[in-house]
Structure 1
Amino acid sequence: MYRFAKAGWCSLFILLLLYNPAAMAAPLAPYHIYMDADWSGANPSSQAIEWGIRTALDERNNTIAGHPVKIVRANHRGNNRRHLRNQQIFLDDARALLVYSGLHSPPLLANKKFINDHAILTLNPWAAAGPITRSLAPNWIFRLSIDDAVAGQVIVHHALTKRGFKKLVLIAEDTSWGRFNHQNMSKKANEYGMEELPVIWSNWGISKAAAKIILRQAASMGADAVLLVVNPAESITFATAMAELEPQRRRPIQSHWGVSAGSFSQKVGENVLKVLDLEYVQTRFSFLNGMLSEHAKQVLARAMRLFPDAIKTPQHIRPPAGFKHAYDLTRILLAAADQVQLSGDVKQDRLLLHHALEHLQTPVQGLIKTYHMPFSPPKSDTSDDHEALHIHDFTMATFDVLGNVQIQQEP
């Protein structure tokens, strides 16, 4: 009797499965989220971006609208051709949904047309060059980060009005990123009565000896402060070189945020930080401000739980910009996904997410602020419709002697 009953229940269970396809449905295939960044020369910023992404995804059990997610690292090493190759690999991946970019602007600038032509949904939590997000539809790059179209204004305004400097000289890397900053900083300097903003061009991999020559040249040109637009490795070189100059030739540095992108403070050391008069642009939120909201406290606790070996205190989230931008941008992505019905067909779902990002209907609470319609369809090829942050979200920061980022809370 028992055997018969057992066999009967098994047969009934099989019949239920046969007549209930949902019960037999295979688990949803994971979406692939690519992190195409510099995992070699700019590893700290790439790692911080991934922490921010994973922390936001963990709030949803590592799913997007119920679909599981797998993060795929791609390393372009700051090289435009490697970046293009990674985009082609993305297109060949049948589960690839979107791409997060990293620190470097030149790869995105060089391959922007390819990204837009091939509808590669790209979320940018760092690279700052203004033209990256400025395209007429279809525009597939969305940024939540510093925007060079206004970042240079913040730096120059602070240098000339808050610090009271009279003669600025710009040291900038000789790339499209550096040239764009020179153009925008010059416009702002002109507004304050500077007829021109002198510039000295620098190259990647500059030696300390060459950096000292450039810094002495800036001083001989009458600079009472130096504007600095270089990448993390070169910022370490220039900072160390400035600290080693004769005291009468040292000048305050008003920097873009390359100084905060890598292991700058650890590599230059406490003695250099004590000597330098260094300020740099940042976005406003900091885990170190001592007045965290309950939401920020929960985010910090989650990050410390997820990455216990790497994040033991708020000070271990370095560079903080990568984390907070990626976290906020991922929360916006998740809100967009909640607004549509994802099908599992990645090409269709990219289109759905793109539309939802440009027409977000609900506010999204982030670390930096609460976002209300952060993106919209481009009105022109110069508009900031794909910029989630704006000039009032930027300020200047310093390092304390331990290398922690100190956000200035000036209005």
Structure 2
Amino acid sequence: MDLKKLLDMGLELGYRLQVSGAETYRVEESINRLMQAYDVDCETFAVPNSLIVSIRDENGEVITGLRRIGYHGTNIDAVERCNTICRKIEREKPDLETAQQMLSDEYKKIRTYPLLISLLGYFLASAGFAVFFGANLPEALFAGISGVACGLSLQFMTWLHANDFFQIIMGGFVIAFTTQTFAITGLIQRADAASIGALMVLVPGLGITNTMRDIIFGDTQSGINRLVQVCISAAAIGIGTGSALLVCRAIYGTAEVSLTSMPDSAIAQCISAFIASIGFCLLYNARTFGMCFCALGGVPGWLTYLLCVDLGLGDYIAAFAGAAVVSLYAEIMARVRKFPATSYLTTSLLPLVPGASIYYTAVHLLNNDPDAFAARVMYIIGYAGALAVGVLLVSSGYRMFSTWKWFRKLERLGKARK
């Protein structure tokens, strides 16, 4: 067996998963599954910016491969395809040439939406979350326009090969400047609701949650790496937003910054969250009618959050319960539709991420209010931790149950052979 070819296959599979936004454990698990299909001992170490895989040959010699990971995005279609083909190879155990061709053919099937569809995603995500955070329909329309402007600016910065930090600064500046301009010219009344809705396309809410998940799950180095990336992204949003507010104050003599309130109707919140999640499905490259299932999970999660808040249980307990319900939905759908749970978790968790808090953290820093800034930061950390624990509780429970079922199956097979 050509072990170097097998190692290259594992590195390429892990690379595809990591750049598509797969979790650390999924990257390592998928590579290990591929190696186990050919009875090869394997050790895998994945962090957000690199991947190391070591295998041992028949003579006990260790062969190690390293792959540097560059730009990270979220590509649900790629994660689903890589996960599916990996399990198929593990199940069928084809020869290496056939397996390599299977992987290559599956990689070629990965597609991305054209620019117009992506801009539609920016519009739906921004407008939907604007309503979610208290905007009326006209304000949501202008929030969607700001989201489209942000999408165009990100595309332009990508064309210039700018790094993520400067892309997010530009995106935050465009959103804050356009929404403030709309407010000052009288087109909208609540600039904050429109800004927060549009900024959700930049907020690293899932990054915060994944950071806490990695740390709690034991992937400390990966978690710390993600934490640094999240802090840099949050700082970039603050710099971009703050710069826009300063420019608006210099040009217009004022800039509106006030706390927004969410709509009273839970139905309106759920509908707007669903629409926004559909927009994110387009941005995250989810395909066909599966988008509806990916977006639908946010509804029971948000209703659970509202119920806990109404019962006086507090934001942290509400976030924990909502995340647990979303994670349960994702695990059920993963087994019903035979796709990774992360496909449903990625978008369904969006209504629960602390996007507004990140925006107001930047505002407090701009207004030179260190006490409010520190309080917001501590709230975000606690809230993200509650989300992560809720997700991990359910996902770990399902994994333990699956392991128990597997050993029970092996025991039954052993008894049958006797």
TM (normalized to structure 2)? 0.31
- Say which structure, 1 or 2, has more relative contact order (CA 8 Å, 6+ apart): 1
TM (normalized to structure 1)? 0.32
